[in-house]
Amino acid sequence: MKKLENILWGLILVVIGIIFGLNALGITDINIFFRGWWTLIIIIPSLIGLFKNESKIWSIIWLVIGIVFLLCAQNILSFTMVGKLIFPFILVMIGLSIIFKDTINKNVSEKIKKLNNEKTKGEEYCATFGGQNADYNGQEFKGANLDAIFGSVKLDLKNATISKDQVINANAIFGGIDIIIPTNVNIKVKSTPIFGGVSNKVKTQYNESLPTIYINSFCMFGGVDIK
């Protein structure tokens, strides 16, 4: 997926470079600074975000917002009218994502539910107006529940022993959670973002022979950083 993202960004830059080159040679006269060109700063990253494995709800929201702003800049729509509807639109999109999140990621949701129903649910780490660090150095990891409420939690699994599939339930509310993942596992992410989100910096190919860590996240004005 990271390769596809790089290809898309590369193609965009190549096209822009060709347009600048042809304009400089007098072959074409394409004005890329058209009315509302700045909306591409919103539209392009949102389009690329649709090809990522993470939750696509915010990519869809920003893509629609970018397109609407472009239509306003072209005088097809009115900024005044759109300004009144943006907040209700965001609320509706968030509500729909919460309602249909289990349907969109059905397989991942079922696996997370199964792991959470098992007897061993892992350790509990909660940080409220403070911080907690959990380092599984040479220890066996059996899942965890992380809650960061106006605080921060750091879970270091770099040297942990992981022999089978595990789940991490991560809730970040006005807080932040850092999860450091070892190289010998797969990652599956399910997230519900409300003015927050998950940043997954772990880019590995899925390997059936390796255990999978399922990260079940809820972010409200907070974030989960997987690295």
Over residues 22-33, the pLDDT tens digits come to: 888 888 887 777
Same domain, 121 and 77: no
Same domain, 62 and 168: no
Over residues 181-214, the pLDDT tens digits come to: 988 898 888 887 777 778 888 877 778 889 999 9
Considering only residues 109 and 85, tell me which one the structure prediction assigns the higher pLDDT. Answer: 85
Model pLDDT, residue 156: 92
Domain boundary among 104, 129, 156: 104
Same domain, 96 and 114: no
The pTM assigned to this predicted structure is 0.60
Model pLDDT, residue 177: 92
Same domain, 116 and 220: yes
Mean pLDDT, rounded, of the chain: 81
Same domain, 111 and 19: no
Per-residue pLDDT at 144 exceeds 80: yes
Over residues 25-62, the pLDDT tens digits come to: 888 887 777 888 888 888 888 887 777 655 566 677 78
- Domain count for the chain, please give it: 2
| Domain, as residue range, for 82 | 2-104
Give the residue among 163, 118, 156 at the shortest CA–CA distance from 140. Answer: 163
Over residues 95-111, the pLDDT tens digits come to: 776 666 655 566 777 77
Per-residue pLDDT at 114 exceeds 80: no
Model pLDDT, residue 155: 93
Give the residue among 167, 158, 170 at the shortest CA–CA distance from 188. Answer: 167
Considering only residues 173 and 86, tell me which one the structure prediction assigns the higher pLDDT. Answer: 173
Which contacts qualify for 3-12: CB closer than 8 Å, 24 or more apart?
4/51, 5/48, 5/51, 5/52, 8/47, 8/48, 8/51, 9/48, 12/44
Domain boundary among 104, 126, 143: 104
Model pLDDT, residue 55: 58
Over residues 147-168, the pLDDT tens digits come to: 999 999 999 999 888 888 889 9
Model pLDDT, residue 99: 67
Which residues, 6 or more positions from 196, have their beta carbon under 8 angstroms from its beta carbon?
A: 172, 219, 220, 221, 222, 223
Same domain, 128 and 163: yes
Same domain, 72 and 136: no
| C-alpha to C-alpha distance for 75 and 67, rounded to whole angstroms | 12
Domain boundary among 104, 119, 142: 104
Per-residue pLDDT at 222 exceeds 60: yes
